[in-house]
Structure 1
Amino acid sequence: MGIRVKKLVLTFVFLFLVTTCKAETPIVVLETNYGDIVIELYKDDTPVTVVNFLDYVNSGFFDGTMFHRVINNFMIQAGAFDTELQSLTPGSTIINEKDNGRLNERGTIAMALSGGDPNSGAAGFYINHVHNTHLDDVHCVFGQVISDMNVVDAIAAIQTVNVGGPFATLPEIPAIIYSARLLGDSDGDGKVDLRDFGMITNQWPQGPLTSSLEIADANIVAQDYFGHSVSIARDYAVAGAPGNVPSGDNAGSVYLYENREGNWQPANQAELTASDANDGDWFGYSVGMNAGYYKMTIVGAPGDDSQTGAAYVFAPNTVDPNKWIQMTRITASDANEGDWFGNSVSMSTFTALIGAYRDNDKTGAAYIFGYDGSEWSELTKLTASDGAVDDKFGNSVSVTGDRVIIGAYTDDINDVNGVNAVDAGSAYIFTKGAEIKLTASDATAGDRFGYSVHINGDYAIVGAVGDDDNGSYSGSAYIFNFNGPNDPNDPNWIQQAKLTPDDGAALDWFGYSVSIDGRYAIVGSRWDDDNGSKSGSAYIFRREGADWVQQSKVTASDGSTNDYFGNSVSLGDGYAIVGAPQANNPGSNSGSAYMFELCPPEDITDDCVLNIDDIFAIVSNWLSGTP
């Protein structure tokens, strides 16, 4: 059936449904960096409050704001501050419609008040994480979450910090409301009408990952290996080029990119280099953007000083924020030649985590550094309590809040039959005062579980490049969830899923790189051969409740043999970036990186596909009585 015929059929379906149904309840979608929260509003019980809330929604007031007050097993609150922690200016206060019989039960949305004044509600709101009986008959409950409470749970579980004032329970990793929209309002005019239907039919059908952009830099030349490492957070992305020679052979550099209204462009100061760059530093071998409120990036240079290694932290200049400056150079207090300190790096707010997998005969180590507002200092050195020579603990690292995960991919462990499994691999999660060792539920020798790791909130993902479910070194990845999906009283990390691609094959090296944000996961498969031998690919997985399903496979639009696309991956704020360090554009092994948008902006049903379901979603909110 042709596209024009499909549109005609859908038009008749739409008009029929419009004449036979009428949605009585307005539904609002809060698009956050943890996923979409869909809220049904009680317009009959709380008409003034609902009209007030929809006015803010339709004006874009909530766009670019955040949940600034997060308390697990209590509530999450928003509507008062933007992502720079600047206070918002709401409109007039409204009467408190608290006497409507609605209770502050789990998943309900209610008006926030200030100063004890019962009629001080304006723009602020909160979502109850549990039934807060002490708030009943005090705060007006005006709606409830109908999908997806998993997102609320994920936000409530974020580690928090106290930075004073109204930010006593500020989430360390921002929980951002990208947009608030009336369900079905695809064109953003505050109404659900035929224009919204047209927005969908003009693009239907369309799959996920709607746009891709190859990013590079004019200074990139042969053997730079641009894209060997990548990281993305909020509106910035960074890509390492460890073979670059601005200050010496393989001295290295990194390149910054900025999202300007949906367009990824080189930042005003695109290239960063070490202040003491020398031959063989491999600066840019690893990179990490700060996922917290403060714009920073950390860069590893494991070849520095005869492979002792170093790491560098950069941040915008306080005088001219468009220019980034080197804040500090970090080294280990017990550094030795050959440690490769900086082979892996990660950053979260004022915490930096740096791996040194060759430390102590490749037993491996990782170091935590903290920033006190004026300087960075080493806080602790982490090693595995059962570490052994050649475990390579620290080959991969990741930090979120006060949780860190560290891979040890050649650790020898006992398999499910109690037999010693050489190089089966492991990963370790550390929190303050605790160490948890993760292994695969089906571990076997040579799996190399822990080759790559990433942690974000209550979710962790671990790559196992040597797994052989689809042939030797076909690879896999494992997702772990804190407390498990159904038991809030279990303090352990539970294996939630094992990921393998639907077209996996031997020597794909699926799991070479991983990233997760609680809603999506991306896994690099750098030796996949869709565009030629070792051209590479990456796979996007989407969480559906406690299940993870493969959403799509991505490859380079100009991919070719030996590109190693998928050597590095990172997820952040609706985008995925994938590195291909051996792409030959413009020269041999000059490298490339590719940016993908995860979902079409017109996707209503949050399945990242434009289809008939989006049409029905619009119809379900048709003539809702909103302006």
Structure 2
Amino acid sequence: MIKIYIAVALTVIMVAFHNCVPGSSGSSSNATGAGGNGGTVIPQCQYTSNPAPVLEGIFSDAAFTAPASTISYRIGMGGDAGTEGTRTLYLKANSGDGISNVISVNCNGGNGLNTNCDVSNGTLRVRINADQDAECMTGSTTVRITVSDSVNGAGCTALAATSNQLNLTVNFANGCYPQTRLNPPTPFASGQMGANVAIDGNWAVSATPGDEAGGIDAGAAHVFQLNGNVWSNFQRIVPSSLASGSQLGAVAISGNTMVLGANLYANAVGRVWVYTFNGSSWVLTAELNSPSPTVGEKFGTAVAISNGVVAVGAPRNSVSGAQSGAVYLFSGASYATVQTVYPQVVGSETLVQGEFGSSVALESGTLIVGAPFPNSATVRGEAVYIYRQSGAFAFAQKIINTDGGGSKRFGTAVSLSGNRLIIGAPFYSSQNNSEVGRAYVYTRASAAVNYGATFGMLNPGDAGLKDHFGQSVFINANNAFVGAPDKTFDQLAKVGAVYMYNSAGTQTFKIRSRRADRENDSFGQSIAVGNGWLISGAFNDEHDINFLNSGSVYMVDIP
């Protein structure tokens, strides 16, 4: 958000109107010309002086209820929460003699400001708004408003036009969060870097499922490193056993350990790789496979890691019913110990087609698993499952959202931090908008007990049709973040946005790409937060016209 303080020095002369004072009746006459004028009457200028106008004041309202020398307001990038998209100031002057004829007005902004001047009935209206294509705005700038005037009366050509200028000093506070776009060093058409992202400490990683270094649509992982305050490409990882069509698309990182998943490997059997940092590069340390490999299982759709335990989702596993899903937990030396968990039946419901394992989150002995798809041919029973570790992981709770009907894909994205859990439902539909999306926050008293039945709902402040708010989520102790990759902005489709909320559930900021080429980028397709940085995937970014949808990621410095 941008907080703009506009201070105006009232001693500055603001405008130059047509303010010429007519001469007295004794100082003007109609002369009869001679010599070359053919007797044509040459009119004499009726004006002898052009006194300066008197500034009446600066007003923040159209009603002009009170003049002010200082005006404060907030203006935001793209309608960020608690801000105004455009602000209009009104300035009024009195010419003294009642004659006013403004012929031109010029406003000059700059440094991330757009300005537009309009004149009506002697009132100068100055519209100021943030430049939607500008990078982060800091410091101060000056808005210069220049008004020019000339005398158009007959015979007044010798009376010079006048112009005066008013300067508005604009100071930015908390203008926007600095962001850096990182592109794939070797782009591929439909590479879609940013399809999935993770971050921890000074490392971040992005899945690029369409990378072709290892074969057509084999996929790859791009690793980024933070040095000082600068992020840069560090390494592209292409597992040697990766094959064409694998589409490596899942990533997780914890300390010096990274997990990569390719759910379409070997006819969608799927495979997962574990890498560690050896001080100079990331090297392969383990290759994980389903204990009972099955074509179409999609092992590696979602991955997570915490305290040496790797969780791998296989949402098309059919042990508990067709496409009911499973999650595998690998631990111990070389990750040789494997535990499998399945969705649990509560009541009389069926588990068919629930796709348990579509999303996973793991932290300090708590496993969260999303099953966001229909669990029968006609009924949706989207749910999120919680497992707690006591030696092995055991089923603890099943959350079925009670906010309206089904078909909202509750559990598409999940994230937990301490005793806070956030769940995305990107296909939630309101009365006004289909598939606008919604996110839900649940809390618990401690890790030993279940999450409460009540929940907080997070909604975007500018909800729109098919924004798919909740496609990605992240939560920590102080904030929650929700991605809406299909958000339209300024009539540009699928620009995308990431919404930030405080612990009370109040939207505090909306983050989006500020690039001029941001249409159809899907900023916010994937998100993660760590070490004061938000990483957001824009997997359809077309930063290079020769490689459409090659994708990118944004690193956003957040407070």
User: TM-score normalised by the shorter chain: which range applies?
Assistant: 0.5 to 0.7
Q: Do structure 1's residue 383 and structure 2's residue 305 form an aligned pair?
A: no
Per-residue CA distance 1:274-300 (angstroms, 9 max, x = gap): 1212101112x111111xxx4111111
Q: Deviations over 1:568-587 (max 9, x none)?
A: 11111211111011111222
Distance change in 2, residues 1:308/1:412 (3 Å) = closer
Partner-residue secondary structure (3-state), 2:521: coil
| 1:300 counterpart (257, 261, 264) | 261
| Identity in percent | 25
Match of 1:481 among 440, 443, 447: 443
Q: Is the 8 A contact 1:411 1:426 kept in 2?
A: no
For residues 489 and 180 of structure 2, what CA distance do their matches in structure 1 show? 19
Amino acid corresponding to residue 566 of structure 1 in structure 2: G
Aligned-pair CA distance for 1:493 = 3.8
1:478–1:495 CA contact under 8 A, matched in 2: no
Matches within 5 A, 1:120-269: 204-207=172-175, 209-267=176-234
1:309 alignment counterpart: 270
What CA distance in whole angstroms lies between the structure 2 residues aligned with 1:303 and 1:366? 16
Unaligned runs of 5+ in 2: 10-168
Secondary structure of the 1:548 match is coil
2: CA distance between counterparts of 1:2 and 1:528? 26
Aligned partner letter, 1:456: S
The amino acid that maps onto 2:196 is: S
Assess if the C-alpha contact under 8 Å between 1:424 and 1:443 holds in 2: no
1:567 pairs with 2:542: no
Higher strand share: 2
Determine helix, strand or coil for the equivalent of 1:566.
Answer: strand
What is the identity, as a one-letter code, of the residue corresponding to 2:403?
Answer: D
CA distance in 2, matches of 1:6, 1:422: 63
In structure 2, distance between residues paired with 1:338 and 1:527: 28
Q: Is 1:398 matched up with 2:361?
A: yes
Q: Aligned letter for 1:288?
A: A
Superposition TM-score, scaled by structure 1 size: 0.58
> Aligned equivalents of 1:326 and 1:402: distance in 2?
25
Q: Which has the higher helix share?
A: 1
In the alignment, does 2:283 pair up with 1:325?
yes
Corresponding residue for residue 549 of structure 2 = 589
Q: Taking structure 1 as reference, are residues 596 and 494 closer, same or farther at Cα in structure 2, changes over 3 Å only?
A: farther
Which of these residues, 391, 407, 429, is aligned with residue 446 of structure 1? 407
Contact 1:404 1:455 in 2 (8 A): no
Q: How far, CA to CA, are the matches of 2:8 and 2:295 in structure 1?
A: 66
Secondary structure in 2 aligned to 1:280?
A: coil
Mapped contact 2:4–2:171 kept (Cα < 8 A): no
- TM alignment of 1:52-91, pairs within 5 A: none
- 1:422 partnered with 2:379: yes
In structure 1, what is the equivalent of residue 236 of structure 2? Answer: 271
Q: Highest Rg: 1 or 2?
A: 2
Given the superposition, is the C-alpha separation of residues 237 and 555 from structure 1 closer, same or farther in structure 2, using an over 3 Å criterion?
same
CA contact (8 A) 1:424 1:447 kept: no
The Cα shift of 1:521 comes to 1.3
* Structure 2 residue matching 1:422: 3-state secondary structure: coil
Residue equivalent to 1:186 = none
Letter of the aligned partner of 1:555 in structure 2? Answer: R
Which range moves more in the overlay, 551-560 or 299-308? 551-560
Provide the aligned length of Structure 1 versus Structure 2: 383
Determine the C-alpha separation between the residues in 2 that align with 1:588 and 1:563: 10
The separation in 1 between residues aligned to 2:421 and 2:531, in whole angstroms, is 17
CA distance in 2, matches of 1:298, 1:229: 12
**Which runs of 4 or more aligned residues in structure 1 lie more than 3 Å from their structure 2 counterparts after TM superposition?**
1-7, 201-204, 488-496
Structure 1 contact 513–523 (Cα < 8 Å) conserved? yes
| Matched-pair contact (CA < 8 Å) for 2:353–2:375 | no
**SS of residue matched to 1:375:** helix
**Please, what TM-score do these two structures have when normalized by structure 2?**
0.65
Cα distance in 2 between the residues matched to 1:325 and 1:234: 18
**SS at 1:511's partner residue?**
coil
| Cα deviation code 1:513-558 (max 9, x no counterpart) | 1111121111111111116222221111111xxx211111111122
- Report what 1:504 is aligned to: 463
Distance 1:513 1:378 in 2: 30
CA distance in 1, matches of 2:214, 2:190: 15
1:431 matched to 2:380? The reply is: no
Q: Take 1:4 and 1:527, find their aligned partners in 2: how far apart are those partners?
A: 35
Match of 2:32 in 1: none
Determine if contact 1:346/1:354 at 8 Å carries over to the other structure. yes
How far apart, in 2, do the equivalents of 1:490 and 1:453 lie? 19
Equivalent pair of 2:313/2:359 in contact (CA under 8 Å): yes
Partners of 2:310 and 2:509 lie apart in 1 by 32
